[in-house]
Structure 1
Amino acid sequence: MAKVQNFSEISPDLPFTEFDFYELYRRTFETSELGKIRKRLPLGEMAENFGLISKSMRAKKGRKTYFTPEGKVTLMFLKMYTGLSSPKLMEHLNGNVHYQLFCDLRIDPMHPLTNYKLL
């Protein structure tokens, strides 16, 4: 390996935290209607009431879930709020960053959700 490399070769590997892609979306999300709704929802209590969070829960085996317990609650709320079917909600979730922020989820545009049964 060469001791000297062009900056253009190593620049993708350098982390620049001041260029946070989601920062502008987070700011606009806080003032949006969904952001205001999310602030008012008692997500932790709702997840506990639905049985998604419990102090006696063991670590589950198998594939890691896409959604946090609070994310599952917000997903149920979002489905009811929008009135979309699962396949349509999946399309909107893949393309709408505010929906992703609402559900506490980040979907890679190169690897979108393809199985609507996850919802």
Structure 2
Amino acid sequence: MIKSQKVLQSSNRTNNGTMRTSVTFKRVGPDTSFDGRGGELIEKFKTLADVYSPSNKDLTILGSQNVKNGATIKIRDPLTSYQPKNDDKVIIDDPRYSGQVWGIVDIQPDFHDRTFLKIILGGTNLND
């Protein structure tokens, strides 16, 4: 085995056992209201994810976006069935994140191994 392949295999710690949190991706639907303030959130994709605290590199990206809360998720790459966009919203189904709608700050696909997508989220409270 080539050394670079060994490093690639050992750095990928996400597997089926670590992906146990349900996440839902939603997109703003068409605006049908009279005042034109945006449409309703429509569920586009639901999957299991590995949810963890942002790394230092992720915090740098979040800091440049002036975001209060941050989280990083890793999902299996859905390929053609769904492609997340920066204006999509994410809801993490976990009691620690209840009442929060997360905006996608950055999407980082792995071009060498199309198995996972790493998505950096910035959060806002629904109660604010």
Bigger Rg, which one: 1
* TM norm structure 1: 0.28
Q: Which has the higher helix share?
A: 1
